[in-house]
Amino acid sequence: MKQPNSQPCSELMLRETASQTAGPYVHIGLALHVAGLPERDEEIWSRMASPEAEGEHIEVVGTVIDGNGDLVRDALLEAWQADSKGRYQPEFDLKKPFNSFGRTATTADEGSEWSLTTIKPGPVAHPNGQPMAPHINLAIFARGVNIQLQTRLYFEDEAEANAACPVLSRIESPTRRQTLIAKREEAGGKVRYRLDIRLQGEGETVFFDF
């Protein structure tokens, strides 16, 4: 016998699950080394290129800064980039000299930096056919961030390509464009690029709605 208040499943209106921030759990699940946990045999982490990878070997470093100007010490970043010839590698395999995908995280120490060991990417064609300047796509996960933030890292010493890039040129303010430009440094004979990501406030990083 049908209950008086029963409804077919198709007519039920279910309440939306509440949004939750990443909290510490993203480190526990995806940044085992930073969380102080044993790493898996095959771990997606911050070394995207081995010494055998073709191209200019670089290190990319930075911090994540909140709206109060304080370091975010539990952020996780995912990186996605082309190889030195502008080609993305869709399949991840630790045996390959280069993978297009990597992860890194800020730490609890004083500097609280994230870092990537990779190669400088080649230019990739925009859907309109124009070449985009060499860049690394970054997704940022952190406490207080319900949906990951999408941004890009461009290179200071690619000024000509940056000026012609169809994505960078859509950012009208030159000051805002600078929030995506990583500064070149020399560190122990190695090439390093630094990009500090500001989540809010003065100097806020440009984020994209991809």
CATH of the domain at 163: 2.60.130.10
Residue 48 contacts residue 77 (beta carbons within 8 Å): no
Q: Looking at the domain assignment, is residue 35 inside a domain?
A: no
Q: Which amino acid is at 161?
A: A
Q: Is residue 104 part of a domain?
A: yes
Q: How many domains does the chain have?
A: 1
Cβ-Cβ contacts under 8 Å for 31 (sequence gap 6 or more) = 76, 103, 104, 105
Q: Which two tokens stand for residue 209?
A: 């709605």
Would you state the structure tokens that stand for residue 122, as one six-digit string?
């080649």
Contact criterion met (CB below 8 Å) for 39 and 32: yes
Kindly tell me if the per-residue pLDDT of 20 is higher than 70: no
Three-class SS state of 174: helix
**pLDDT band at residue 19 under the 50/70/90 scheme:** low
**Model pLDDT for residues 90-144, shown as the tens digit of each residue:** 999 999 999 999 999 998 888 899 999 999 999 999 999 999 999 999 999 988 7
Structural domain including 193 reads 41-198
Comparing CA positions, the residue from 178, 185, 184 lying closest to residue 205 is 178
